[in-house]
Chains A and B, each alone.
Chain A
Amino acid sequence: MSTTVEKIVPAISDGHKEHPQRKWQDYFGFSTDHKVIGIQYLTTAFFFYFIGGALAEVMRTELATPDPDFVQPEFYNQLLTMHGTIMLFLWIIPAGAAFANYLIPLMIGAEDMAFPRLNAVAFWMIPPGGILLLSSFFNGAPQAGWTSYPPLSLVSGKSGEEIWILSLLLLGTSSMFGAINFVTTILLMRIPDMDIHSMPLFCWSMLATSGLILLGTPVLGAALILLSFDLMAGTAFFNPAGGGDPVVYQHMFWFYSHPAVYIMILPFFGAISEILPVHARKPIFGYRAIAYSSLAISFLGLIVWAHHMFSSGTPGWLRMFFMATTMIIAVPTGIKVFSWCATLWGGKLSLNSALLFAVGFLSSFLIGGLSGVMLASVPFDIHVHDTYFIVAHFHYVLFGGSVFGLFAAVYHWFPKMTGKMVNETLGQIHFVMTFIGFNITFLPMHQLGLQGMNRRIALYDPQFQTLNIICTVGSYILALSTFPFIINIIWSLMKGKKAARNPWRALTLEWQTASPPIIENFEGEPVLWAGPYDYGIDQESIDGDESVEDMLATISAEGQ
């Protein structure tokens, strides 16, 4: 039995209602519609992605030669600080919030988020935060790395540093307001039929993400406030010259910043859990395992922070404790990777852009995860900490993981968000260029670190030049890969094929309403007639006792 492409059946016998469409101007103003806000977040995030990417290209161009001959070393440090800060706080975290905003109400059958105005406020803190941060270039951007360790951050690029602090306080608050919305909406606004074990895995992952945001970000805020006092008011919380302790900053900073990396990956874990079943036509393998492992990662993520400090001012017993907890967190992560593989296995894979990026995600995140487990081992980490091995690791999990997941999500939900289909050929070219460019850029960095190249440097030992040139070439391929993507998006928006309500024949609720959805999301309360991953259900009935007719009759009876 097959599931054919459906015909759109008018649901109400009195004819199809006309619904007001959004005007493009709505997307530039203060809108409380979560769908508008989601798109605003996404486009803003991409804007900053291109800026952060441009900074990276300048860095990689400098690194093609061992000498600092393209930019001054001091400026190079500004570039690396801004590259890191922008990519994390203005690209990945807001992009996660973008999808959360767009999808959560649709997936649970709600009309909007719990606090629509707070939601809009949360978004509108991002552009000022970003512009403020960029403005630091005028008088010298901060140059102590995105980690901003004192005492260095207290003595270098001070005006830039203060701007950086204020910008982060703004962006962190935005993130927290978003999380308040996500938690409340997911927990309290699902349609009655949807109990927590019938909700899509994206919602589970956003629940886990929001917990981390709410518990971790305030501690970063506290750290930044104290740093700010040191910088501006002459206190010495982190300044040894005044009796303070720079290691306390590190603890407070990483208490947030480690969960931050889970904040950056969990939404995309959720997205992958949505995308794979649809394009493999198979249920997600191990729903509960994936749901609970998200919570486990969230909880464990709060007690691993000092693995960023294995060679710092940490006593041996503390290093051992954090090694243990960090090793443990590999288990729920591994469960997910295996479950996703099992979802693909035996399925019927449509090799479209969304699925290609999802598989790219899996293959790259795997490498990043494996290097991560190695880094949990203290003796090994001591050798590679603050080297290019670390740079390789986090780019594999952040770019290979989050960004590939992000692109998969963009291709997957583009029809829903815009009502247009993307051009698949361009999408596939985008994937191939990104995948190749990405691996050429970052794979050699593992070796660079192991061999002895430290990070955050504009000048390096000439023995490393060959590998660095390879990385630079890879980065240029990555830069070029953005073109098919941008062309695709613009072209599809203007001239793309009109998308049906449910072009992927998916089962989650967002696909049961129009593309793009009507302003109120659904006409009346949606009926939950299948679990989110009940693919193959028509095959099930072949072996089962009930005929499909009977099953449908049962469901429609329940729905009345």
Chain B
Amino acid sequence: MTLISLWYGQNHGLLPIAASNDASEVDGLFNFMMTIATGLFLLVEGVLVYSLIKFRRRKGDTTDGPPMEGNVPLEIFWTAIPTVIVFILSIYSFEIYNRMGGLDPMASGDSGPQMAYAHHHSQLVALDTNRQNVALGLGVSPDSQQGISPLEVKVNGIQYAWVFTYPETGIISGEIHVPINRPVALKMTGGDVIHAFWLPEFRIKQDVIPGRVTNLVFTPNKIGKYPVICAELCGAYHGGMKTQLYVESEEDYQKWVQDNTIAMNDDIDESSVAVNPVSNSDQDFLSPYANNLGVAADALEQLKSQS
């Protein structure tokens, strides 16, 4: 039974491919839970089937069964084992969640309903200054490499489409293109009702809520085309609210950026021309984002001295 559980736990084939390291880690967690669940399933169902056959009342036997009312050691055993199991699962899950950036203070705090409110009362709520609690969701992974800045994409969910804006390049698109192996930081909001941004192949999901900014960060490690699915009932055509995430090689990504920037070049001033990040020094590259990333000026100085 243990062997079957172990085998099935690893080979159930129920999940789509994992397109990021985080996704693989979530899969590891799921496989572990599947192994335990399969084992318990076989045990209990086995007991039930066995009982139905072996302990069937013989015809004509109207006597009672044995007066077993309990067995303290056994009960302690089957209280302790589940307790240990859920304890392990909690720790394991906590670890994975942390590694995914779920406890990043930048992303995991709640600043409350802000944006719509700010508009409403023309009171500038400077999101930057309130660095501690900028938004909700998954943030930067604690063991992500320093110095690689995430590609920031602003996401707006409306009935029934996703609109992506790239601050780096000024592109606005209905599809999201990202280069492989670079963290992507989504800053998301809802435009009308609550939607949810779900990337099944990355195992991540976050509600987008009007009046708030929520976050997702992921690092794709496989080139491909992945569905982006709305995962919160948002109206009649909730089922049709889908788009695609394209994970591309660096060259293909740059080509896409060029193609789309040219398309938008007419009325855009030079500050939003696509900058090839590779050519910049760390400090130059980071300076426009220093505020958002919470990188203080002197930290930038340190980087400069290091590079």
Contact, chains A and B (beta carbon distance below 8 A): yes
Instruction: State the A residues within 8 Å of B (CB).
Output: 1-5, 68, 72-74, 76-77, 143-145, 149, 151-152, 155-156, 240-247, 280-289, 311-317, 319-320, 323-324, 327-328, 330-331, 334-335, 337-339, 341-342, 344-351, 359, 362-363, 366-367, 370-371, 373-374, 376-380, 382-383, 385-387, 446-447, 450-452, 454-461, 505, 533-540
CB distance from A37 to the nearest CB of B (A): 34
CB–CB A311/B108 < 8 A: no
Query: Which of the residues A4, A337, A385 comes within 8 Å of B62, measured between beta carbons?
Result: A4
Cα–Cα, bound, A166→B136 (Å): 34
| A331 touching B67 in the complex, CB below 8 Å, given contacts A323-B93, A366-B44, A374-B33 | no
Q: Which of B99-120 contact A (CB under 8 A)?
A: 100, 102-104, 107-110, 112-113, 116-117, 120
| A-B CB contact pairs (8 Å), 30 listed | A72-B236, A73-B237, A77-B236, A149-B194, A151-B193, A240-B116, A241-B116, A242-B120, A243-B113, A243-B121, A284-B69, A285-B71, A289-B79, A311-B196, A311-B207, A316-B103, A331-B79, A335-B78, A341-B47, A346-B65, A349-B55, A349-B57, A359-B52, A366-B45, A370-B37, A371-B37, A373-B89, A379-B26, A379-B93, A456-B238
CB–CB A351/B52 < 8 A: yes
CB–CB A144/B113 < 8 A: no
Stretch at the interface among B175-183, B225-233, B250-258: B225-233
| A348 touching B65 in the complex, CB below 8 Å, given contacts A145-B233, A320-B97, A331-B83 | yes
CB distance from B202 to the nearest CB of A (A): 9
Query: Which of the residues B65, B96, B108, B116 comes within 8 Å of A347, measured between beta carbons?
Result: B65
| Smallest Cβ-Cβ distance to A380: which chain B residue | B30
CB of B167 within 8 A of chain A? Answer: no
CB of B86 within 8 A of chain A? Answer: yes
Q: Which residues of B contact A287 (CB under 8 A)?
A: 69-70
Query: Which of the residues A327, A382, A460 comes within 8 Å of B90, measured between beta carbons?
Result: A327
Q: Which residues of B contact A312 (CB under 8 A)?
A: 207, 209
CB of B128 within 8 A of chain A? Answer: no
CB–CB A454/B103 < 8 A: no
CB of B270 within 8 A of chain A? Answer: no
CB–CB B48/A362 < 8 A: yes
The 4 closest A-B pairs by CB, nearest first: A240-B211, A457-B239, A316-B108, A536-B67
Query: Which of the residues A151, A284, A346 comes within 8 Å of B66, measured between beta carbons?
Result: A346
Query: Which of the residues A345, A350, A379 comes within 8 Å of B97, measured between beta carbons?
Result: A379
CB of B192 within 8 A of chain A? Answer: yes
Q: Which residues of B contact A313 (CB under 8 A)?
A: 110, 136, 207, 209, 212, 214
Q: Which residues of B contact A338 (CB under 8 A)?
A: 44, 78
CB–CB A3/B63 < 8 A: yes
Cα–Cα, bound, A241→B74 (Å): 57
CB–CB B196/A349 < 8 A: no
| Smallest Cβ-Cβ distance to B214: which chain A residue | A313
| A539 touching B14 in the complex, CB below 8 Å, given contacts A314-B110, A350-B57, A454-B230 | no
Cα–Cα, bound, A430→B164 (Å): 53
CB–CB A240/B210 < 8 A: yes
CB–CB A73/B110 < 8 A: no
> Chain B, 217-255, contact with A by CB distance < 8 Å: what is the 0/1 string?
000000000010111111111111010000000000000
| Smallest Cβ-Cβ distance to A154: which chain B residue | B193
CB–CB B63/A383 < 8 A: no
Q: Which residues of A contact B104 (CB under 8 A)?
A: 316
| Smallest Cβ-Cβ distance to B53: which chain A residue | A349
CB distance from B44 to the nearest CB of A (A): 5
Cα–Cα, bound, A347→B48 (Å): 12
Cα–Cα, bound, A316→B94 (Å): 10
CB–CB A344/B51 < 8 A: yes
CB distance from A248 to the nearest CB of B (A): 9
CB–CB B86/A373 < 8 A: yes
Q: Which residues of B contact A1 (CB under 8 A)?
A: 63
